[in-house]
Amino acid sequence: MANTLVVEKAKTSKIHEVDFDNLSFGSTYTDHMLVCDYVNGEWKAPKIVPYQPISLDPSAKIFHYGQSIFEGMKAYKDRDGGVWLFRPLENFKRLNKSAKRLAIPELPEAYFMEGLTTLLQLERDWVPQNPGSSLYVRPFMFASGTGFHASPADEYKFIIACAPSGAYFSGKVKVLIEETYSRAANGGVGYAKAGGNYAGQFYPTQLAVEKGYQQVIWTDDNNHEFIEEAGAMNVFVRINDTLITAPTNDRILDGVTRKSILDIAKSEGIATEVRKISVKEVVEAAKNGSLKELFGAGTAAVVSPIAAFGYQGVDYDLPELENSYASLLKQRITDIQYNRAEDKFGWRYKVI
Complete DSSP assignment for 260-297: HHHHHHHHTT-EEEES--BHHHHHHHHHHT-EEEEEEE
Average pLDDT over residues 199-204: 96
Domain boundary among 132, 165, 198: 165
- The DSSP output letter for 102 is T
* 216 inside domain: yes
Specify which residues 141 forms β-bridges with: 69, 158
Q: Give the separation between CA 132 and CA 72, rounded to whole angstroms.
A: 16
Q: Is 274 exposed, middle or buried (0-12, 13-18, 19+ CB in 10 A)?
A: middle
Check whether residue 107 and residue 231 sit in a common domain. no
Report DSSP letters for 42-63, one per residue. Answer: EEPPPEEEE-------TTBTHH
- pLDDT for residue 154 is more than 70: yes
Query: Please, what sign has the CA dihedral across residues 177, 182, 185, 190?
Result: negative
Domain boundary among 165, 200, 227: 165
* 182 inside domain: yes
Letter string b/e over residues 209-227, b meaning 16 or more CB atoms within 10 A of that residue's CB: eeeebbbbbbbbbeebebb
Check whether residue 147 and residue 212 sit in a common domain. no
Give residue 1's pLDDT band: very low, low, confident or very high (50, 70, 90): low
Q: What is the pLDDT of residue 168?
A: 73
Q: Give the separation between CA 50 and CA 161, rounded to whole angstroms.
A: 10
Segment 71-130, tens digit of pLDDT: 999 999 999 999 999 999 999 999 999 999 999 999 999 999 999 999 999 999 999 999
For residue 50, what is the domain's CATH number?
Answer: 3.30.470.10
Check whether residue 159 and residue 182 sit in a common domain. no
- In order of 74, 133, 134, 262, 336, the CA distances from 346 in angstroms are 17, 22, 20, 15, 10
* 344 inside domain: no
Check whether residue 100 and residue 210 sit in a common domain. no
Residues 47 and 111: beta-carbon distance below 8 Å:
no
Task: State the total domains in the chain.
Answer: 2
Check whether residue 247 and residue 298 sit in a common domain. yes
Q: Give the separation between CA 351 and CA 84, rounded to whole angstroms.
A: 5
Check whether residue 141 and residue 281 sit in a common domain. no
Residues 175 and 306: beta-carbon distance below 8 Å:
yes
Average pLDDT over residues 320-328: 95
Domain boundary among 165, 186, 220: 165
* 351 inside domain: no
- Give Cα 253 distance to the centre of its chain: 10
Q: What is the pLDDT of residue 169?
A: 63
Check whether residue 200 and residue 90 sit in a common domain. no
Q: What is the pLDDT of residue 3?
A: 58
* 84 inside domain: yes
Residues 6+ apart with CB under 8 A from 234: 245, 246, 252, 253, 255, 257, 258, 296, 297, 298
Check whether residue 74 and residue 222 sit in a common domain. no
Q: What is the dihedral of CA 209, 215, 221, 227, to 10 degrees?
A: -140
Specify which residues 273 forms β-bridges with: 244
* 348 inside domain: no
Average predicted confidence (pLDDT) for the chain: 96
Check whether residue 157 and residue 274 sit in a common domain. no
* 206 inside domain: yes
* 299 inside domain: yes
Give residue 4's pLDDT band: very low, low, confident or very high (50, 70, 90): confident
Instruction: Print the domain residue range for 226.
Output: 173-337
Query: Please, what sign has the CA dihedral across residues 214, 199, 162, 334?
Result: positive
Half-sphere exposure of 45 (CA within 13 A, CB side): 9
